[in-house]
Amino acid sequence: DAGVTQSPTHLIKTRGQQVTLRCSPKSGHDTVSWYQQALGQGPQFIFQYYEEEERQRGNFPDRFSGHQFPNYSSELNVNALLLGDSALYLCASSLYRVYTEAFFGQGTRLTVV
């Protein structure tokens, strides 16, 4: 089991552009959560997907959107990129209805210039 995989590992975008990040959950997991980790800060919850629906959302603007596919993989989309969106984006997978340890991916480092 490869665990949680994220792609790409690094990305450089220009202000105003749009970006899509991808995540494949750990085998057997059905829930994907996305976090933003700015430099020197702890991860901040963006949103969570289960059964292809957004179930919980953190304090992030509508520019941040997501999707979950039938195979449980997920995408994070950010529109109209700002310099402040530069961060490490982490994906975590778990099971929805029973506590399971949340497994994290290695993250995607997004730099907005």
Partner 1 sequence: AQRVTQPEKLLSVFKGAPVELKCNYSYSGSPELFWYVQYSRQRLQLLLRHISRESIKGFTADLNKGETSFHLKKPFAQEEDSAMYYCALSGIQGAQKLVFGQGTRLTINP
**19-24 sheet: strands from edge to edge:** 5-7, 19-24, 74-78, 64-68
Among residues 13 and 103, whose Cβ is nearest to partner 1? 103
CB of 90 to partner 1, least distance (A): 7
Token pair of 53 as six digits: 């629906």
Kindly list the residues in this chain that would bind partner 1 in the complex (CB under 8 A).
3-4, 31, 33, 35, 40-45, 48, 50, 55-56, 58, 90, 92, 94-107
CB-neighbour burial class of residue 72 (10 A; exposed 0-12, middle 13-18, buried 19+):
buried
Among residues 40 and 84, whose Cβ is nearest to partner 1? 40
CB of 62 to partner 1, least distance (A): 18
Among residues 15 and 57, whose Cβ is nearest to partner 1? 57
| Residue in this structure with the two tokens 């099971």, named with its chain if needed | 95
